[in-house]
Amino acid sequence: MNNISHIKDCYGCGVCSTICPRNIISIKLNSDGFYAPTIELMDKCTDCGLCLDVCAYSDSDVETNDEKYTLKGFGGWSLDNKIHSKCSSGGIGFEIGRYLIENGYKACGVRYNRELDRAEHYMAQTVEEFIPSIGSKYIPSYTCDGFKEINRKDRFFITGTPCQIDSMRRYIKRLKCENNFVLLDFFCHGVPSMNLWDKYLKFSQAESKGAGVISWRDKKHGWHDSWVVSMYDKHKTSLLEDDTPIFYSRLSKNDLFYKLFLGNACLGKACYDHCKYKLANSSADIRIGDFWGKTYSNNNDGVSSVVVFTEKGESLISELNRNCVFIAHPVEIVAEGQMSKSPRPGKILYNHLNKLLKSKKTLPQIVSSAVWVDRFVHFPQKIIKTLKK
Ligand SMILES: Cc1cc2nc3c(=O)[nH]c(=O)nc-3n(C[C@H](O)[C@H](O)[C@H](O)COP(=O)(O)OP(=O)(O)OC[C@H]3O[C@@H](n4cnc5c(N)ncnc54)[C@H](O)[C@@H]3O)c2cc1C
Ligand code: SF4
Ligand code: SF4
């Protein structure tokens, strides 16, 4: 059939559901903890093929943004100290959104919904409403409610993972309204399973049950040591308010969520096998990220990497000069500290962990079991290496 029913383990970007004229595609979490589409009423499908037209997963190429443009790179940060200190790197993502909202755009960012315990795209019409998008949420995001608010007459700023943005570029081309849109993605490590996040919430339940705002980055110990899950009491309503967290766990002190996420142990299958967006491969107007690498290795406040792919992106960056600092760098330097290839999962460890994340075991039990399996898998390789030496 000329629809997405044969597609498995895709990006879960939700753009097929947004475009379907019969409204019969739903996006739900699958048993591995990733969003995936299902056609609910197959007999209502007219085989129009629109869902496949906008599907970035079903095409091996990245949708073009502006082929004639020569990419430009920058390091940048916000001059608003509060924004700079609370955003993941330099706060450039927020500043672009703020500027565009002030100039008549609606902004689609990602917030954490504490009632449903999920990350979700939502549409902000004021700068105040855009504040919950501050900070990366390192879990898959449910896009449908936010994306359903897009129309052909208003102007929109859309943020997301590179795969979400690739499908979005196809969507706005299909609807012939590209001029009304600014698309922003980021250098993307991948997204971990929601089963890991569920286990983490159970593991920290003494604190997480009473928590309101949750954040995934914190610069108290500096930007380079900012891989921190922190949870705040319910009376704090915004990340911008100063407060002491009721839960605080960082990677440098063996945080279990980050250990598995950044150890590439349970990313989406598409992040291992089907990611075509590393380095400067993008459909966006602008790509942001953390400016890792040597250039800012002594900076502790945070610097955003910025790659500009279109004329529209370039004029936007020049208009932002009043609120932000931008320093030009070659694109190779901007992308220096980024992953150049998708990680390869160890099949035995991946399957083992996937099974454990669905079981009743606690997160510490899962991690210690995974460590043993990892040792067992690598033991023969280590012996061979030693013998060779
Ligand atoms: C899953 C994930 C993986 C990432 N991997 C890398 C990486 O490998 N290298 C790197 O340099 N940077 C990566 N980033 C980006 C990085 O964490 C920062 O977002 C970036 O440095 C920009 O920071 P900022 O200070 O401008 O703003 P921030 O305030 O951090 O901006 C965050 C932006 O990301 C959007 N966003 C947040 N969570 C999600 C989500 N779950 N899905 C889609 N969009 C989301 C928000 O709407 C907002 O626009 C990743 C982000 C995510 C969410
Ligand atoms: S082919 Fe058309 S009607 Fe059928 S699921 Fe896809 S978009 Fe909907
Ligand atoms: S790593 Fe690639 S496939 Fe995975 S979420 Fe990021 S852009 Fe999408």
Residues with CB under 6 A from ligand 2: 2-3, 20-22, 24-25, 39, 45-51
State residue 242's pLDDT score. 86
Q: Name the closest-CA residue to atom 5, ligand 3.
A: 190
Q: Where are the domains of the chain?
A: 4-53, 351-388
- Between the CA of 41 and the centroid of ligand 2 the distance, in Å, is 10
Residue to probe by mutation, ligand 3, list 188, 194, 279, most atoms within 8 Å of CB: 188
How far away, in angstroms, is 371 Cα from ligand 1 center? 28
Q: Which residues sit with their C-beta closer than 6 Å to ligand 1?
A: 87-94, 109-110, 119, 133-139, 141, 159-161, 186-189, 191, 288-290, 304, 338-339
Give the atom of ligand 3 at the shortest distance from the alpha carbon of 191: 5
pLDDT at 370: 84
Measured from the alpha carbon of residue 11, the closest ligand is 3
For the CA of 190, the closest atom of ligand 3 is: 1
- Rounded to the nearest 10 degrees, the angle between the axes of helix 363-388 and helix 194-203 is 120
For residues 130 and 114, is the Cβ–Cβ distance under 8 A?
A: no
For position 232, what pLDDT does the model report? Answer: 95
Residue having the nearest C-alpha atom to atom 7 of ligand 2? 20
Residue 375 confidence (pLDDT): 74
- Residue with CA nearest ligand 3 atom 8: 163
What are the pLDDT tens digits along the chain (389 aa)?
A: 899 999 999 999 999 999 999 999 999 999 999 999 999 999 999 999 999 999 999 999 999 998 899 999 999 999 999 999 999 999 999 999 999 999 999 999 999 999 999 999 999 999 999 999 999 999 999 999 999 999 999 999 999 999 999 999 999 999 999 999 999 999 999 999 999 999 999 999 988 888 999 999 999 999 999 999 999 999 888 999 988 999 999 999 999 999 999 999 999 999 999 999 999 999 999 999 999 999 999 999 999 999 999 999 999 999 998 899 999 999 999 999 999 999 987 888 899 999 999 999 999 999 998 887 777 666 656 666 666 77
First and final CA of the chain: distance in angstroms? 56
- In three-state form (DSSP H/G/I as H, E/B as E, the rest C), the secondary structure along the chain is CCCHHHCCCCCCCCHHHHHCCCCCEEEEECCCCCEEEEECCHHHCCCCCHHHHCCHHHCCCCCCCCCCCCCEEEEEEECCHHHHHHCCCCCHHHHHHHHHHHCCCEEEEEEEECCCCEEEEEEECCHHHHHHHCCCCCCCEECHHHHCCCCCCCCEEEECCHHHHHHHHHHHHHCCCHHHEEEEEECCCCCECHHHHHHHHHHCHHHHCCEEEEEEECCCCCHHHCEEEEEEECCCCCCCCCCCCCEEEEHHHCCHHHHHHHCCCCECHHHHHCCCCCCCCCCCCEEEEECCCCCCCCCCCCCEEEEECCHHHHHHHHHHHHCEEEEEECHHHHCCCCCCCCCCCCHHHHHHHHHHHHCCCCHHHHHHHHHHHHHHHHHHHHHHHHHHC
What is 4-53's CATH topology? Alpha-Beta Plaits (3.30.70)
| Minimal-distance CA residue to ligand 1 atom 43 | 160
Answer whether 130's CB lies under 8 Å from 107's CB: yes
User: Does residue 279 come out as left (phi exceeding 0), alpha (psi in the -120 to 50 range) or beta?
Assistant: left
Neighbours of 132 (CB within 10 A): 20
Confirm whether pTM is higher than 0.85. yes
56 pocket-lining for ligand 3 (C-beta < 6 Å)? no
| Best residue among 15, 23, 25, 144 to mutate for probing ligand 2, ranked by most atoms within 8 Å of CB | 25
Give the closest ligand to the alpha carbon of residue 141. Answer: 1
Q: How far apart are CA 323 and CA 340, in angstroms?
A: 31
